[in-house]
Chain A
Amino acid sequence: MTSFARRLRTLAVAFALGLGAAIFAAPAITSTALAQGAPASPAAAQEELLFRYLQTQPQGRHGELVGRVSIPDPKAATLIQPHGREFQEAWRSTMKWVGAVAILGMLAVITLFYLVRGRIRIAAGPSGRYIQRFDGVERFAHWLTASTFIVLAITGLNISFGRHVLLPLIGPEAFTAWSEWAKVAHNFLGFPFTLGVVLILLLWVHRNLPDSTDLEWLAKGGGLVGHAHPPAKKFNAGQKIVFWTTVLGGAAIAVTGFIKMFPFQFIATDVYGMQLATQIHGIVGFVMIALILAHIYIGTLGMEGAFSAMGSGKVDLNWAKEHHSLWVDEVMNPTRKASLPAGAKGAGAD
């Protein structure tokens, strides 16, 4: 009985000592934290207070609430990432509006242009004489990029708009089957597309650096507005815009695409990064699709004599004189060859 009472007393003393220590220690911890200039953690806080405090911590730099978790997956340690709601809104409205306005707007502009201007004919009529404009390697690079881009654009638009446009028409099972294949195609064709963009850059970059002729070309509306034929080298300012959109946009879309294919592996290692990559990928895609629609129009229906440049590689001499006068001079006049960069050949100057 006595031993039990003694043990009880010891326990009570220990408890009282412990409690006392805790009472003295608690303010000490708080004051140390304050003295170091760090914001004190709210002890028995309201959600709002604690939430705001934790959001100031380094691991929650985008407003996430990050803690510790026993699962060997660091992503699971993020308790709440409120910007998921922002991604939801961006995906549901902003992205879809940007896409719809860019693409439908461009189609409207093209239709209007066709109705007003009609097909741009070769003013002097076809000469029947052809000169080489693009060699086999150039056409390969173009069509590699073009064919993959068309599939990528359709399958990409399926991810953005298929749910609203195609799903109600073919039903959920068929739409999923198609979307699964579309996703596989989109993933794998990203590689040849990237190769095409790299080839385009290497083949044409030296002819796409901006110069003074571009200013004149743009000032005269490129002959699209009005009927002037401003002088141009192998690529006019409009084509240079398409080139740089393809190269820079292609680079952005390739990098974000690879990030999305290998999620959380590089550059974007958290959810915020993946959200950003997804949004950039979509917006750049929409802009490129819109611009390429105009490119396709002017290269086929919109202009007589333009398609053969990428078809057979040869163009009518009169077409070339009207649209690329400086390039024709360069090709036809052998003395100008000396001014070409070392190693470059006057394409098809035969």
Chain B
Amino acid sequence: MARMKFLCDADRCIECNACVTACKNEHEVPWGINRRRVVTINDGKPGERSISMACMHCTDAPCAAVCPVDCFYTTADGVVLHSKDLCIGCGYCFYACPFGAPQYPRLGNFGSRGKMDKCTYCAGGPEADNTPAEYAKYGSNRLAEGKLPICAEMCSTKALLAGDGEIIAQIYAERVTTRGYGSGAWGWRTAYKDMVSG
């Protein structure tokens, strides 16, 4: 079975935010919730990089480890999903997540943030695949239809790669070898305890 991962080639990302928009549109994500975002580091300086970031679907996911109600689960594809029926909105996953992925409908008046929402790798949730109930809570389930996440599919410069970790790492390594430079697979060390270099 494939081990699904995201990889953002920072040397290709042009901060067009199409991935963010595609994600919002695909899943009808409510206002104020950002399952994916583009962060520009070293902004306006030499060595500026833009990186598209969402849930990295970590190996040994920190969110799952700290969840008091154990609402997270990892699919056979290595995708980290959660149940909104079980989530109590405590916010601990946001403190543990190295990538700021968990989002809440409300800021927390007396800790009632509402059910957590995050990137599903376009793989829905625990409900039956592609049912209205699943769509309402988690958005569409492209993986069940044999498709990859919309953000990576939409990426105009093919900076954002999604798919089997070994294959996308190989694609990235080939690029680095060909062009002679690469700033690395951002977040891979923290998420997968793994580095990719050319």
Contacts and interface: CB of A to CB of B under 8 A. Distances in A.
B17 interface: yes
Given A176-B88, A262-B108, A76 B69 contact: no
B167 to A, nearest CB: 20
Most buried by A among B45, B69, B107, B189: B69
B186 interface: yes
Contacts of A70: 17, 38
Contacts of A338: none
Interface stretch (B89-97, B117-125, B133-141, B155-163): B89-97
Interface stretch (A137-145, A157-165, A228-236): A157-165
A78 B45 CA distance: 18
Nearest to B104: A263
A83 B96 CA distance: 8
Interface residues of B, number: 54
A279 to B, nearest CB: 10
Nearest to A175: B69
Given A67-B39, A79-B53, A278 B92 contact: yes
A173 B85 CA distance: 8
A178 to B, nearest CB: 10
B190 A67 contact: no
A91 B96 contact: yes
A43 B47 CA distance: 4
B46 A26 contact: yes
Given A47-B183, A76-B34, A79-B41, A42 B95 contact: no
B168 to A, nearest CB: 16
Interface in A198-244: none
B39 to A, nearest CB: 4
A79 B184 CA distance: 14
Contact of A271 (B34, B95, B110, B189): B95
Interface string B5-49: 000000000000100000000000000001001111111011101
Given A79-B53, A84-B95, A85-B190, A50 B111 contact: no
Question: Interface of chain B, helix or strand or loop or mixed?
Answer: loop
B70 A172 contact: yes
A42 B108 contact: no
Nearest to A164: B70
Question: Interface of chain A, helix or strand or loop or mixed?
Answer: helix
Contact of B111 (A45, A46, A67, A183): A183
B16 to A, nearest CB: 11
Contacts of A180: 88
A44 B183 CA distance: 7
Contacts of A43: 46-47
Nearest to A77: B39
Contacts of B38: 69-70
A169 to B, nearest CB: 13
Contacts of B78: none
Contacts of A79: 39, 41, 51, 53, 99-100, 186-187
A91 B65 contact: yes
A107 to B, nearest CB: 23
Interface string A60-101: 000001111111010111111111110110011000000000
Interface of B: 17, 34, 37-43, 45-47, 49, 51, 53, 62, 65-71, 83, 85-88, 90-92, 94-100, 107-108, 110-112, 181-187, 189-190, 195, 197
Given A67-B42, A179-B68, 5 more contacts: A41-B47, A44-B181, A70-B38, A80-B99, A176-B87
26 contacts: A41-B42, A41-B46, A43-B46, A45-B47, A46-B182, A46-B183, A47-B183, A47-B184, A47-B186, A54-B41, A65-B41, A66-B41, A67-B41, A78-B39, A79-B39, A79-B186, A80-B190, A84-B95, A84-B190, A88-B96, A172-B69, A175-B69, A179-B69, A187-B111, A261-B110, A263-B111
